[in-house]
Amino acid sequence: MKPYKRIIKPTHIHQNNISIGHNHLNRTDYCNETRQLIHAFHIIQDDYRKLMDYVELHNENNSTFSHRIYELLLRTCTEFENNCKGILSDNIYTPDSRNLKITDYFKINQISNLNEYTVKIKNWFPEPLEIKPFEEWNANTYTPLFWYKAYNNVKHNRSENFQDANLKNLTYALSGLFIILVSQFDKNIFNQFQETMMSLSASDGYQSSQNSIFSFKYPSWTENDYVENINQIDLENENIDYTLFNFNQ
């Protein structure tokens, strides 16, 4: 099977436990806004770093809320929505309404295995934080994501729900944005300007970069997840015949 558009899957070619054959991820016919999407994430990540100057990444601060966290939570979830809409529109999806919502975005999980991705934040205290931002989606029927629900609560009524704009919800939301980008662009997410860069693959399975707060662990791929590697001849063609996933099923 040919690779999907805006959905990464492993190939049968591996070297040192790192999947290769993903050169097509930077092509405009794979996604025509790759650099913009990754750049937007890095801007938010940089602002999260600035927040760390005032709020320590610590379990004791999970419930800390502020206007700055509120702003970042809105921006992060808006960017998450933008990515989900792009994935659905670039594949086969004909919703009943043009106004997509979280139950539409949930459909992406069936092909991208979002619920299996794990994120690690090493500079969280008192010990590194390991989370699955889409863990609630480990089912065939839709279950709300608590951080996305918090985003909607505070967006529609900040006066009553301001406490939902807290460090925990922001951290999970940003981890979710990170994973939805990884699920499209793999380790290219680690750099916003270059097409490829050096990344590290640890013995515990985490993929990381010195430029990122976040590291991630892939899902447990099965034999049915593998796609064909795109050879150099195909890469030189004007267009690649991608597989489009039917989200209507």
pLDDT tens sequence across 80-131: 999 999 999 999 999 988 899 999 999 999 999 999 999 999 999 999 999 9
Helices 67-90/167-185 angle, 10° precision = 30
Average the pLDDT over 221-241 and give the result: 80
* Maximum separation of any 2 CA atoms in the chain, in Å: 58
- Alpha carbons 227 and 93: distance in angstroms, whole number: 21
Query: Any idea what DSSP says for residue 8?
Result: -
pTM for the whole structure: 0.93
199 pLDDT band (50/70/90 cuts)? low
pLDDT at 135 over 60: yes
Distance from the first to the final alpha carbon of the chain: 18
Q: Are 175 and 98 in contact (CB under 8 A)?
A: no
Q: Where is pLDDT greater, at 226 or 134?
A: 134
Residue 86: both structure tokens together: 């792009």
pLDDT at 147 over 60: yes
Q: Where is pLDDT greater, at 196 or 79?
A: 79
Task: Give residue 20's pLDDT.
Answer: 43
Q: What angle do CA 88, 20, 247 make, to 5 degrees?
A: 15
Cis peptide bond N-terminal to 144, omega within 30: no
Query: Averaging pLDDT over each range in 36-50, 206-220, 231-245, which range is the top one?
Result: 36-50
For the chain, give the percent of residues with pLDDT over 70: 91
Average pLDDT of the chain to the nearest whole number? 91
Task: Give residue 18's pLDDT.
Answer: 42
